[in-house]
Amino acid sequence: MSLHVAVLRGDGIGPEVTEEAIRVLKALSLDFTFEEALVGGAAYDATGHPLPPETLALCQKADAVLFGAVGGPQWDRVEPATLRPEVGALLPLRRELELYANVRPAKTLRSLMMASPLKGENGLIDLVVMRELTGGIYFGQPRERRNDGELAVDTCLYSKSEVRRIALQAVKIARNRRREVTSVDKANVLETSRLWREVVDQVAAENPDVKFTHMLVDNCAMQLVRNPKQFDVILTENMFGDILSDEASMITGSLGLLPSASLSDPRGNKVFGLYEPIHGSAPDIAGQGRANPIAAILSAAMMMEYTFDQAPAGRKIEAAVEKVLDSGLRTADIFEPGTKLVSTSEMGQAVATAVAAD
């Protein structure tokens, strides 16, 4: 059966890096259908809205979304602000598609190991942060959110079902890895964390093949610097995940190479997800062939693993990226003396060739 992918290239370097991700996917020789739609500033210019209804409709019927990036200075002053690309496209997409599980792998590429601020073997990490994306203090109860000048209030809310569904996503991901989940909370202080822990314990009992442990968030922040290799899957709520995923990303030393997935509930037998590089639209280098396409390519690898349940195909793409970097090819952002400078499309072509040869 055909693997149906909605392609939302977006703005700036989004189209360039997405092109290379598609090139690499095609090298897998599987039966893909790629369907394109406008998003972000490009959609605003063409239709007057950064997320046209036909774009959302395409995402709703596809198995997965491959997303580039949106935004740029030419749309920063669009009024009303709700029509600006990030606010008018990204946030509604996440909400409408119920993308509640944000998955951010942080894996050091061996050939870029010296870029890690943690020198030596300690900087060689391979972990995933699974962050709850649609609940917690960032959403809370809008009616209770206030600031009267002297006193400001945000509320943190979690329901059992919200915790359960993300804990189950963590189980699924851990099964393709070392089968270890560290659930991170602040259960010594917060009621929401105590509920979180209770539900995670239930999920752990139902899935004994995956080892669960609990860790307090302050300890986790410290352990990530002290001994990050101990982690396989870090499962945590929205705000803790926001902070810890950035901390983990920096350990790899290469923020611009990192992919992400935002997952929803399964549609039929497939987990629906939106896959995108963690970087933005980089308007400063757009259209110059200088963008590094690896984050987009690795996002496509995540799509193979999580939505299409083809972890070997995902690993094949990752291995191809490592091979190409080991051979010394570098885009401008990671260039160092002694390596060979290549363009966005040359890097994509090299990875695609390595995938096809595998």
> Which residue among the candidates 126, 154, 246, 309 is catalytic per the annotation?
246
Minimum distance from residue 151 beta carbon to ligand NAD (Å): 31
> Which residue among the candidates 126, 154, 201, 242 is catalytic per the annotation?
242
Integer-rounded Cα radius of gyration of the chain:
20
Nearer to ligand NAD, 207 or 249 (CB): 249
Nearer to ligand NAD, 203 or 261 (CB): 261
Minimum distance from residue 233 beta carbon to ligand NAD (Å): 23
Q: Running DSSP on this structure, what letter comes out for residue 2?
A: -
Minimum distance from residue 276 beta carbon to ligand NAD (Å): 6
Query: Nearest Cα to 8, choosing from 118, 103, 94, 113?
Result: 94
> Which residue among the candidates 138, 270, 309, 333 is catalytic per the annotation?
138
In whole angstroms, give the CA distance from residue 89 to residue 46: 14
Dihedral of the alpha carbons of 271, 13, 324, 177, in degrees to the nearest 10: -20
Nearer to ligand NAD, 181 or 291 (CB): 291
Task: Write the Ramachandran bin of 32: left for phi over 0, alpha for psi from -120 to 50, otherwise beta.
Answer: beta
Q: Running DSSP on this structure, what letter comes out for residue 230?
A: G
Q: Is 218 a catalytic residue?
A: yes
> Which residue among the candidates 45, 61, 76, 218 is catalytic per the annotation?
218
CA distances, 227 to each of 78, 210, 223, 232, 258 (Å): 45, 21, 5, 12, 21
In whole angstroms, give the CA distance from residue 132 to residue 251: 21
Q: Is 160 a catalytic residue?
A: no
Q: Is 209 a catalytic residue?
A: no
> Which residue among the candidates 26, 126, 186, 309 is catalytic per the annotation?
186
Nearer to ligand NAD, 228 or 241 (CB): 241
Minimum distance from residue 13 beta carbon to ligand NAD (Å): 6
Q: Is 172 a catalytic residue?
A: no
Q: Is 253 helix (H, G, I), strand (E, B) or coil?
A: coil
List interacting residues with ligand NAD (CB under 6 A).
13, 17, 69-72, 86, 90, 256, 276, 279-285, 291-292, 295, 333
In whole angstroms, give the CA distance from residue 351 to residue 12: 22
Task: Tell me the residue number closest to ligand NAD, measured at CB.
Answer: 280
Nearer to ligand NAD, 236 or 281 (CB): 281
Q: Is 138 a catalytic residue?
A: yes
Catalytic residues: 138, 186, 218, 242, 246
